[in-house]
Amino acid sequence: MAGRRLRGVAGSPGVALGPAFVFAPAARAERPATASASPEAERARWREARARLEAAYDALLERAGGAEKAGETAEEGLAILEAQRMMAADPGLEAAVEEALAAGRPAEAAVREAVDRYAALFAGLEDAYLRQRAEDVREIGEALLRALAGEEPIPLAELPPGSILCAAELGAGALAALDRQALAGLALGSGGPTSHVAILARSMGVPAVLGLGDFLGELRPGQRLAVDGGSGELWIEPEGETLARLEAAARRERAEREALAALAGEPAVTPDGLSVELAANIGGPGDVGPALEAGAEGVGLFRTEFLVTGRETLPGEEEQAEVYRRVLEAMSGRPVIFRTFDVGGDKPLPALALAPEANPFLGYRAIRIGLEHAELLRTQLRAILRAAAAVAPEAGGEAESPARVMLPMVATLEEVRRARHLFEEVRRELTEEGRLPAGLRVPLGIMVEVPSAALIARQLAREVDFFSIGSNDLVQYTLAADRTNERVAGLYQPLHPAVLRLIGLCGEAAAEAGILCGLCGEMGGDPRATALLVGLGVRELSMAPASLARVKREVRRTPLAEARRLAAQALECATQAEVEELVERFLEGLEAGAAGAGAEGR
């Protein structure tokens, strides 16, 4: 017997063990429907209820704000509570309630009707996330009804320490009201991965299994439970090997959390002194905040396409320059790599009315469009340079801007030369117009994602200021496999020796020419690949902010000399499986080494 297993939906990753605490808030006291008072009295009751709910949210926000400083709730969790508080105070909701009150309805009925109206509006939306917001409206309606009944608007639970909270449903507000120290894990009958309670649980780092349906009848309070928020399983009284496995996972996670938290303020430097720049990929100015919070030292890939996709008309120079300036300002002097519009093929551009193609991945896209529709690229280059000028210090003289321009999907040297020609022309124009200081240097680099570019890396390195390897496309083009096509996805092998050789060519060529070689595909955020990439000569890694801490740990524990040895061995492998095995042994060696060093230290 391993215990009983219930299957739900993965809500928030992590494993937690603890006693079941069954949370079933007492049913609301309902006023008899016949009870009636004057509209004035009902209005006063409604206003008081709303004021109490707002006060309850204020208290939660204050607490969550303190928890954020303690690293227990991330900004996203706060934003959800803030949005709920705004929903409770919403002028539209207020107008709907007041209208019903004016018609002589009791306060409860007025709230219920107004809430139903909004919930129905949300339930009819196309966007799946917004459709789920009907839940938030209902949560707020429930809270208002509880306040009207004279109860606590957001019910609090006194949790014994280390509890697994089990409930049929739970709102994000109610979750925030729980004592994080006492809450080990969460098991809910309702909810899905995009529900606000799931987002908040992830932001608080509480493992959660949702969508367990009518599961409360299956368990008794105090029974020993294990929540596996990664697999979406809830174990009731796990035993034997299952218990040992779950306990080990929970221990490992705790140690890992502590280790990563300890790294937050540390630089990304190898034990033998090599700095590796760890940067973030962003899709718009709104992503800068989370990137900085996660410790990004720069933006290694700004996907500027959001400015053009789905639009009938192209954005003008002023509009673009404004967006670029905002990002540069928010990054306050840290490097920002602007990738020029990577559109066409699978990313249609309505403004150019491009014809559909039989092979979009081998077709008219990215730099190929930019060079032909020169106005598109020219306008963007002007906007980037103007943004660079806007954040440049007043004093003249020679200076390098934090702004960098990156050309996507370069396949040939001619493309680089044509783009460089255009770039210099635009520079001259702007300098003559008095909009760009003559001494301000803005580096121009390329994305290496076509094998031909990697194979002539040495020739390219002489004519560009940096490389950034786009590993996603480089892997797809090298193994000729579309990773979104399930039937060939197995051929999408980032650690294949062929891919590593191409990366190695870029690293070597960049070192020879004295330029920076970075990488901005998914490999950049994969901690298993970090040592290999550093060993192959990659000196900047750009990734989703969530991966930064793990990759930093790899950089900090891998001496460059060993990374180089690992890379040299990997280049001799014949298959990805061999590389994976090699990397695994290498990482085990590092762990053992670290453990040994730790033991000696003590």
- Decide: 234 and 212 in contact? Cβ < 8 Å: yes
Among the listed residues 243, 242, 52, the one whose alpha carbon sits nearest the alpha carbon of residue 152? 52
Rule CB under 8 A: say whether 306 interacts with another protein. Answer: yes
Residue 40, classed as helix, strand or coil, is helix
The correct pick among 15, 159, 288, 469 for binding another protein (CB under 8 A) is 288
Site string for another protein, 240-279 (x = CB under 8 A): ----------------------------------------
Q: Choose between 127 and 158: whose C-beta lies nearer to another protein.
A: 127
Q: Choose between 191 and 238: whose C-beta lies nearer to another protein.
A: 191
Q: DSSP class of residue 286?
A: G
User: Is 196 a catalytic site residue?
Assistant: yes
Q: Six-digit token pair at 471?
A: 């590993």
- Decide: 190 and 168 in contact? Cβ < 8 Å: yes
CB of 122 to another protein, least distance (A): 6
CB of 79 to another protein, least distance (A): 4
Q: Six-digit token pair at 350?
A: 């309505």
Using CB under 8 A as the binding rule, the residues of this chain from 13 to 72 that contact another protein are none
Q: Choose between 124 and 217: whose C-beta lies nearer to another protein.
A: 124
**Sheet architecture: strand order including 183-188:** 4-7, 233-236, 224-228, 15-22, 163-167, 183-188, 208-210, 9-12
The window from 76-84, 271-279, 506-514, 545-553 that contacts another protein (CB under 8 A) reads 76-84
Using CB under 8 A as the binding rule, the residues of this chain from 109 to 128 that contact another protein are 118, 121-122, 125-127
Dist. CA 359–CA 289, nearest whole Å: 37
Dist. CA 195–CA 77, nearest whole Å: 12
The correct pick among 87, 243, 274, 571 for binding another protein (CB under 8 A) is 87
The residue type found at 419 is A
Among the listed residues 533, 514, 554, the one whose alpha carbon sits nearest the alpha carbon of residue 263? 554
- Decide: 467 and 444 in contact? Cβ < 8 Å: no
Site string for another protein, 163-202 (x = CB under 8 A): ---------------------------------x------
Q: Six-digit token pair at 91?
A: 């002028």
Q: Choose between 16 and 115: whose C-beta lies nearer to another protein.
A: 115
Q: Choose between 315 and 408: whose C-beta lies nearer to another protein.
A: 315
Q: Six-digit token pair at 309?
A: 């996709």
Q: DSSP class of residue 6?
A: E
CB of 239 to another protein, least distance (A): 42
Residue by residue, DSSP assigns 107-172 as: HHHHHHHHHHHHHHHHHT-SSHHHHTTHHHHHHHHHHHHHHHTTS-SS----PPTTEEEEES---H
Q: Choose between 338 and 467: whose C-beta lies nearer to another protein.
A: 338
Rule CB under 8 A: say whether 139 interacts with another protein. Answer: no
Residue 338 Cα distances to 8, 197, 328, 335, 474, angstroms: 42, 35, 10, 10, 19
Using CB under 8 A as the binding rule, the residues of this chain from 322 to 341 that contact another protein are 322-323, 326
Rule CB under 8 A: say whether 79 interacts with another protein. Answer: yes
Q: Choose between 351 and 590: whose C-beta lies nearer to another protein.
A: 351
Number of residues that bind another protein (CB under 8 A): 40
The correct pick among 93, 154, 448, 583 for binding another protein (CB under 8 A) is 93
Q: Choose between 214 and 318: whose C-beta lies nearer to another protein.
A: 318
The correct pick among 319, 424, 584, 591 for binding another protein (CB under 8 A) is 319
The residue whose two tokens read 């990002």 is 327
CB of 100 to another protein, least distance (A): 16
Collect all residues with Cβ–Cβ distance below 8 Å to 37 and sequence separation of at least 6: 45, 106
Total residues found in the chain within this entry: 602
Rule CB under 8 A: say whether 214 interacts with another protein. Answer: no
The residue ranges that bind another protein (CB under 8 A) are 76, 79-80, 82-83, 86-87, 90-93, 118, 121-122, 125-127, 129-130, 133, 136-137, 196, 283-289, 306-307, 309-311, 315, 319, 322-323, 326
What residues are labeled active site? Answer: 196, 520
